[in-house]
Amino acid sequence: MNSVYLRALTANEPFAILAAGGILLVLLDAIAGRRRNLPWIWPTLAVLAAALARALAGAGGSSAGLIMDGFGRFVVALILVSAALTVVLSETHLRRIGRMRGEHYSLLIFSAAGMVLFATSTDLVYLFLGLELLSIPVYILSGYQRGSQRSAEAALKYFLLGAFSSAIFLLGIAFIYGASGSTDFAVAVSGNGKGSGLMSAGTLLLMSGFLFKVAAVPFHMWAPDVYEGAPTNVTAFMATAVKAAGFGALLRILGVTAGASQGLPLATVLWWLAVLTMIVGNLAALTQSNVKRMLAYSSIAHAGYILIGASVYAGTGDAGALEGALYYLLAYTFMTFGAFAVVAAFGEKQNEHLDMSDYGGLGWRYPALSIAMSLFMISLAGIPPTAGFFGKYAIFKNAVQNGQTSIVVIAVLNSALSVYYYIRVVVTLYMRPESVRVTAGRSVAIGLVVAVCALAVLWGGIAPEGRLPGGSDLLGSATRAVLAPR
């Protein structure tokens, strides 16, 4: 049995490349010893690029429970791009705090490897392996700023709650295995235990694990504190890559039973969670004066919008719902990452300038960063012509087509609410007087990240069906691949 798993893992080329790359970086770090101020960024990016190239080429094949199909390629690409952006963003931060070590980069790569596994498996053993592998490095990275009390608090909080949710996830796996005798979810749901109470309980516990990772209500409590306390580059990684991996795994598991009637009213459960997540996230974000906390609650709210797509997909198995959720994830990744990158750009070593009022008048002193920040806020608020608008459009359109107009009305009212706190950032940047002297260092690396995100957000808003350069229709093949076998 061991060898079967091992063979499958090594066949998943992107995963194998990342795992090997991570180990190599740890070794290099040990060899480098005291001469630690090395350009770690280049080997790290090389590893990520190699994994991305193999993933896009469709390498990794498919074995039972571990599928690198179009859907997998899409989510893996999203994860790896987000990881690459994090690597570039980390450069400036690590230099600033004087801890330019290889360990930071190898942790990022290990986490990315876990995410790849998490998003490409239907076998519960791989899922759990992926979950742990993606989580543990992120716990450490959250506390990477050792001198900072907040950073340590964030790490501890995230670790305790995360370990708890992993345990619940594992319990769910045990239930499912107990009910069906298989660890492959696709086999388990159609096998002996089909529709049994134990099976349903197991599935619900499994869901709670995913929902914890994507910070959906009621498993969202950790997000604001952890997002606020963690170094901004790590927060950006958590808010985008972790969420992409969580939704990737959730959607894939939902895809197994999508549209089929079974004992568990998953679509209804997700419907209510979507509503609650949107409302809680948006209402809480309204009152935040700390930019990172505001973005944390905003990311909860966005999980709610994506859950609409997940709910419709679970209920109907409609490809459009999956496409909407994936497109939203794409848009969300770039706009959120961009926003955190701007927050990182405004931060200084002594003062991170997380208080919204510190942004007063910066629009006129840092025009490029501020225009980009405004663009991200407009996109997060869902105002055209931005990627965020088309993300909402794709999910809402599909929900209306499937007769779910009521949840769309709830969602747009939530969006109207969210305009208030997103626009507040723009208002502060351009209309409030300068309150403190912010001296953002000119960092080429951060500028690059912001520019990439801004272009992606604009491009997604003007040509939302635009193909990648090279002509591959990643999104289309993502949805086709998941639906094809069923």
DSSP run (H or E) holding 67: strand 66-67
For residue 290, the minimal CB distance to another protein (Å) is: 20
User: Do the Cβ atoms of 339 and 424 come closer than 8 Å?
Assistant: no
Q: With left for phi above 0 and alpha for psi between -120 and 50, is residue 246 left, alpha or beta?
A: alpha
State which residue, 159 or 305, has the beta carbon closest to another protein: 305
If we measure between CA atoms, which residue out of 205, 190, 207, 298 comes closest to residue 247?
207
Helix axes 243-257, 291-316, angle to 10 degrees: 10
Compute CA 273 distance to the chain's CA centroid, rounded to the nearest angstrom. 18
CA dihedral 298→351→368→365, nearest 10 degrees, is: 120
State which residue, 46 or 416, has the beta carbon closest to another protein: 416
State which residue, 416 or 484, has the beta carbon closest to another protein: 416
If we measure between CA atoms, which residue out of 132, 86, 149 comes closest to residue 338?
86
If we measure between CA atoms, which residue out of 13, 56, 82 comes closest to residue 467?
56
| Phi, psi angles (nearest 5°) of residue 67 | -120, 120
State which residue, 167 or 412, has the beta carbon closest to another protein: 412
For residue 405, the minimal CB distance to another protein (Å) is: 6
For residue 460, the minimal CB distance to another protein (Å) is: 11
For residue 436, the minimal CB distance to another protein (Å) is: 19
State which residue, 25 or 417, has the beta carbon closest to another protein: 417
DSSP run (H or E) holding 339: helix 319-346
State which residue, 154 or 362, has the beta carbon closest to another protein: 362
For residue 335, the minimal CB distance to another protein (Å) is: 15
For residue 174, the minimal CB distance to another protein (Å) is: 43
For residue 389, the minimal CB distance to another protein (Å) is: 8
User: Do the Cβ atoms of 483 and 316 come closer than 8 Å?
Assistant: no
For residue 476, the minimal CB distance to another protein (Å) is: 9
* Cα-based distances in Å from 42 to 35, 47, 81, 235, 457: 16, 9, 15, 22, 26
State which residue, 100 or 417, has the beta carbon closest to another protein: 417
Amino acid in the structure at residue 71:
F
State which residue, 23 or 412, has the beta carbon closest to another protein: 412
Amino acid in the structure at residue 93:
H
User: Do the Cβ atoms of 175 and 164 come closer than 8 Å?
Assistant: no
Chain contacts with another protein (rule: CB under 8 A):
364, 374, 378, 383-385, 389, 393, 396-397, 400-401, 405, 408-409, 412-413, 415-416, 419-420, 423-424, 426-427, 430-432, 463-465
DSSP run (H or E) holding 27: helix 13-32
State which residue, 207 or 373, has the beta carbon closest to another protein: 373
Q: Tokens in use for 97?
A: 């705090």
**Beta carbons within 10 angstroms of residue 289's beta carbon:** 11
- The span from the CA of 375 to the CA of 366, in Å, is 14
State which residue, 16 or 331, has the beta carbon closest to another protein: 331
**Beta carbons within 10 angstroms of residue 439's beta carbon:** 10
